[in-house]
Structure 1
Amino acid sequence: MRQERAIRTRQTILEAAAELFDEFGYEGASTTDIITRCGLTRGALYHHFPSKESIAVALVDAQSEALKAPERDLGLQSLIDLTFEYARRLQADPILRAGVRLTVEQTSFRSPGSRPYRAAEDAVYRQLQLAAQKGELLPGLDIEETTEFIVGAFTGVQLVSHVYSKRRDLLERVSAMWRLVLPGLAVPGLLLRLRVTPP
């Protein structure tokens, strides 16, 4: 019972901090703001997180939870659907949005460096390897280079969508990304079998 309450309290803190970081950035949110938003005491906050930075680190690390590819018959379809699911969560989940903002922004929060991008690259690389084993990729395709390109392109699509529409058009932009990228990845006979719209 006590453990469940502790888990709920920790989640409440993360959600309140995520909303503030997403709205105001790391610099614009204080621990006092977080305490006020979540309705807890300072002692409760510091019991779970010793500092504002430790909350930010937890939010950045939470991004990896959104990187699980759904199971599909085609490895490339799993990868495509992973990006759609991530995009959907980014539209709705303040914890994921805050983690992305903290990763991208240059603030006094010590940068998480390439760690979040490495996690994304690992997820994409696994799916591309699976697609290669199933004969879905063009011969001679450099999987490592392709992985880095897809993560970079997807990151750019997210940022542009945020600037132009607060991510309202994110799914359409992800769909366009795949329509443009897939002919350079997939064997020709596979293109008609791949869905490039949200599942």
Structure 2
Amino acid sequence: MGRPKQERAVHTRELLVDAAAGVFDENGFAGASINKILSRAGVTAGAMYFHFRSKADLARAVIHEQSSRLAIPEKPGGIQQLIDLTMYLTGQFTCNVRFRAGVRLAVEQGESGLHDYTAYRWWIKTFERELVAARERDELLPGVQESSFARFVVASYTGTQVMSDIATARADLPEQVVAMWRYLLPSVVPPVSLTSYVIDPARKDLITV
């Protein structure tokens, strides 16, 4: 027997989002075409239009679902887990096309005209919960505001990876993220605890869910 209709629809949608991510990653929004996406997904135009009205809709889906295959910790762990999470994301740029394409599209929204802040808002909340946990563990200086610093970390990481992509195709991203944290940490954690945190790209594999 064939798959139930709902299961087939979900599978088709996943094929389309993955195909779109690959095409957007390689060509950007302007260089991507519906035909390229359909060819890669191996589905008909009718199947695509059942789920998405346009290329912009596909781009929006890739942006919103960039984190869908990431191993984001279920429980907040504080400063060390936040550092490790950024290192993990750094590693994901090399192997996770959906994440990489979603980030590219979110950064290059001028091409698509989407002006969609959803993904940034999600990452700010994800980072903020680590900082709330850090506050509960007395890991933050008194004047640090969790939501504000979370936004600053997202902005800093975004800018760092964009510059690294332009300069070295992200080959130097791990060392640039290390430098980012070496400058940021002294401004938010008590001096006595600075040496207790490990800023090491090798910790990208320590994230567990």
* 2:21 counterpart residue number: 18
CA contact (8 A) 1:69 1:81 kept: no
1:68 corresponds to 2:72: yes
What is the alpha-carbon distance in structure 2 between the residues aligned to residue 29 and residue 109 of structure 1?
Answer: 15
State the TM-score, normalized to the length of structure 2.
0.85
What is the alpha-carbon distance in structure 2 between the residues aligned to residue 137 and residue 67 of structure 1?
Answer: 25
1:78 corresponds to 2:104: no
* 1:183 counterpart residue number: 186
What is the alpha-carbon distance in structure 2 between the residues aligned to residue 68 and residue 85 of structure 1?
Answer: 9
What is the alpha-carbon distance in structure 1 between the residues aligned to residue 128 and residue 172 of structure 2?
Answer: 26
- List structure 1 runs of 4+ shifted beyond 4 angstroms: none
Displacement after TM superposition at 1:49 (Å) = 2.1
- In the superposition, relative to structure 1, how do residues 67 and 161 fare at CA in structure 2: closer, same or farther (>3 Å)? farther
What is the alpha-carbon distance in structure 2 between the residues aligned to residue 187 and residue 69 of structure 1?
Answer: 25
What is the alpha-carbon distance in structure 1 between the residues aligned to residue 191 and residue 51 of structure 2?
Answer: 52
After superposition, the CA RMSD in angstroms is: 2.0
* 1:139 counterpart residue number: 142
111, 114, 117: which is aligned to 1:107? 111
Q: CA-to-partner distance for each residue in 1:61-119, whole Å, 9 max, x for gaps?
A: 013444834657x510111111112222222211112111211111134221x222111
SS in 2 for 1:107: helix
Displacement after TM superposition at 1:144 (Å) = 3.2
- In the superposition, relative to structure 1, how do residues 168 and 9 fare at CA in structure 2: closer, same or farther (>3 Å)? farther
27, 30, 34: which is aligned to 2:30? 27
CA contact (8 A) 1:70 1:82 kept: no
SS in 1 for 2:167: helix
43, 47, 53: which is aligned to 2:56? 53
| Amino acid in structure 2 at the alignment position of 1:153 | S
85, 90, 103: which is aligned to 1:87? 90
| Amino acid in structure 2 at the alignment position of 1:77 | Q
* 2:99 counterpart residue number: 96
In structure 2, list runs of 5 or more residues that go unmatched.
204-209
| Amino acid in structure 1 at the alignment position of 2:141 | L
What is the alpha-carbon distance in structure 1 between the residues aligned to residue 67 and residue 37 of structure 2?
Answer: 23
In structure 1, list runs of 5 or more residues that go unmatched.
none
What is the alpha-carbon distance in structure 2 between the residues aligned to residue 108 and residue 127 of structure 1?
Answer: 32
Higher relative contact order (CA 8 A, sep 6+): 2
CA contact (8 A) 1:64 1:120 kept: no
Identity %: 39
SS in 1 for 2:174: helix
CA contact (8 A) 2:131 2:146 kept: yes
* 2:206 counterpart residue number: none
SS in 1 for 2:93: helix
